[in-house]
Amino acid sequence: MSEILIAVLLAITLDHLIPDRQGIKPFVWYRDWAESIEERFNGGKRAHGVGAVMLATLPIVAGVLLLHYVLGQLAWILRLAFDVVVLYLCVDVHRPGKTANAISNALESSDLDEANEKLQELTGKGATEKNEADIARAAVEGVLKQGNSLIVSPIFWFMLLGPFGAVLQRLSCILDSLWGHRYERFAEFGWAAARFDDLLGWIPARITALSYALMGSFEDALHCWRRRVGVWSDINSGPLLASGFGAMHMQICEAQEEDEYAERSSDLTVVPDAGHVRRVVALVWRVLLLWLVVGILMTGAHLAGLFSG
Mean pLDDT of the chain: 87
pLDDT digits (tens, 9 = 90+) for 184-203: 888 889 999 999 999 999 99
Do residues 247 and 221 lie in contact, with contact meaning Cβ atoms separated by under 8 Å?
Answer: yes
Question: In 3-state terms, what secondary structure has residue 26?
Answer: coil
Segment 216-244, tens digit of pLDDT: 889 888 888 887 666 656 788 889 998 99
Q: Which pLDDT band holds residue 173 (cuts at 50, 70, 90)?
A: very high
For the chain, first and last CA: distance in Å? 17
Residue 173 to residue 193: CA distance in whole angstroms:
9
Rounded Cα distance between 112 and 114, Å, is 5
Is it the case that residue 294 has pLDDT exceeding 50?
yes
22 pLDDT exceeds 80?
no
Q: Give 32-62 pLDDT, tens digit per residue.
A: 999 999 999 888 899 999 999 999 999 999 9
Q: Assess contact for 147 and 89: CB atoms under 8 A.
A: no
Q: Quick one: pLDDT at residue 254? A: 54
pLDDT tens-digit readout, 253-286: 654 434 433 433 455 677 888 999 999 999 999 9
pLDDT at position 268, please? 66
Q: Is the pLDDT of residue 24 over 80?
A: no
C-alpha span between 242 and 8 (Å, rounded):
28
Q: Is the pLDDT of residue 11 over 90?
A: yes
The mean per-residue pLDDT over the stretch 298-302 comes to 76
The predicted structure's pLDDT at residue 263: 37
* pTM of the full structure: 0.88
- Range of lowest pLDDT (17-26, 87-96, 130-139, 204-213): 17-26
In whole angstroms, what is the distance from residue 64 CA to residue 40 CA? 25
Predicted local confidence at residue 258, as pLDDT: 42
Residues 95, 140, 21: CA angle, nearest 5 degrees:
10
